Copies of this chain bind each other. A is one copy, B any other.
Amino acid sequence: MSNLGTELYELCQELFPICRSITGNGFRQSLGILKKHVPAMKVIEVPTGTKCFDWEVPKEWNIKDAYIVTPSGDKICDFKKSNLHIVGYSMPINKVVDYEELQKHLYSLPNQPDAIPYITSYYKERWGFCITQKEREQLTPGEYKIFIDSELKEGALTYGELIIKGESDKEVFISSYLCHPSMANNELSGPVVATYLAKWISELKNRKYTYRIIVIPETIGSITYLSRNYRYMQRNVIAGFNVTCIGDDRSYSYLPSRQGDAISDRVALHVLKHMQPQFVSYSFLDRGSDERQYCSPGIDLPVCSIMRTKYGRYPEYHTSLDDLNLVTPEGLLGGYEVLKRAIECLEMDEILSSDVLCEPQLGKRGLYPTISTKSSGSQVKDMMNFLAYCDGSSSNFEIAEKINTPLWELRETIDKLKEEGVLNTVETIPKRI
Residues of A within 8 A of B (CB): 52-55, 123-124, 222-223, 226-227, 230, 258, 284-285, 287, 292-293, 295-300, 353-354, 356-361, 363-364, 384-385, 387-392, 403-404
Q: What is the CA–CA distance of A354 and B297 in the complex, to the nearest angstrom? A: 8
The 10 A-B residue pairs whose C-beta atoms are closest, nearest first, are A297-B391, A293-B358, A54-B360, A53-B357, A223-B358, A54-B356, A53-B358, A298-B357, A54-B361, A296-B358
Asked if B356 contacts A53 (CB within 8 A), the reply is: yes
Contact of A404 among B222, B285, B363 (CB under 8 A): B285
How far in angstroms is the closest Cβ of chain B from A368? 11
What chain B residues lie within 8 Å of A227 (beta carbons)? 357-358
Known: A285-B403, A298-B354. A359 touches B389 (CB 8 A): no
Closest to A226 in B: B358
Besides A53-B356, A297-B354, 19 more A-B contacts (Cβ < 8 Å) are A54-B357, A55-B358, A222-B358, A223-B359, A226-B357, A226-B358, A284-B388, A285-B403, A287-B388, A292-B359, A292-B388, A293-B359, A296-B357, A296-B358, A296-B387, A298-B354, A299-B357, A299-B358, A300-B391
What chain B residues lie within 8 Å of A53 (beta carbons)? 356-358
How far in angstroms is the closest Cβ of chain B from A309? 21
Closest to A223 in B: B358
- The oligomer's copy count stands at 3
Asked if B390 contacts A357 (CB within 8 A), the reply is: no
What chain B residues lie within 8 Å of A55 (beta carbons)? 358, 361
A-B contact pairs, 18 of them (CB 8 A): A52-B358, A53-B358, A54-B357, A54-B359, A55-B358, A123-B361, A222-B358, A223-B358, A227-B358, A230-B357, A285-B404, A293-B358, A293-B359, A296-B357, A297-B353, A297-B388, A297-B389, A297-B392
Q: What is the CA–CA distance of A180 and B328 in the complex, to the nearest angstrom? A: 61
Q: What is the CA–CA distance of A287 and B387 in the complex, to the nearest angstrom? A: 13
Q: What is the CA–CA distance of A384 and B284 in the complex, to the nearest angstrom? A: 12
Contact of A385 among B285, B300, B363 (CB under 8 A): B285
How far in angstroms is the closest Cβ of chain B from A126? 14
How far in angstroms is the closest Cβ of chain B from A218? 12
What chain B residues lie within 8 Å of A54 (beta carbons)? 356-361
What chain B residues lie within 8 Å of A385 (beta carbons)? 285
Closest to A391 in B: B297
What chain B residues lie within 8 Å of A222 (beta carbons)? 358
Q: What is the CA–CA distance of A364 and B364 in the complex, to the nearest angstrom? A: 73
Q: What is the CA–CA distance of A364 and B124 in the complex, to the nearest angstrom? A: 10
Q: What is the CA–CA distance of A385 and B293 in the complex, to the nearest angstrom? A: 12
Asked if B296 contacts A359 (CB within 8 A), the reply is: yes
What chain B residues lie within 8 Å of A292 (beta carbons)? 359, 384, 388
How far in angstroms is the closest Cβ of chain B from A408? 19
Q: What is the CA–CA distance of A123 and B226 in the complex, to the nearest angstrom? A: 62
Closest to A295 in B: B388
Contact of A297 among B230, B390, B403, B404 (CB under 8 A): B390
Q: What is the CA–CA distance of A223 and B297 in the complex, to the nearest angstrom? A: 46
Q: What is the CA–CA distance of A54 and B387 in the complex, to the nearest angstrom? A: 14
How far in angstroms is the closest Cβ of chain B from A351? 12
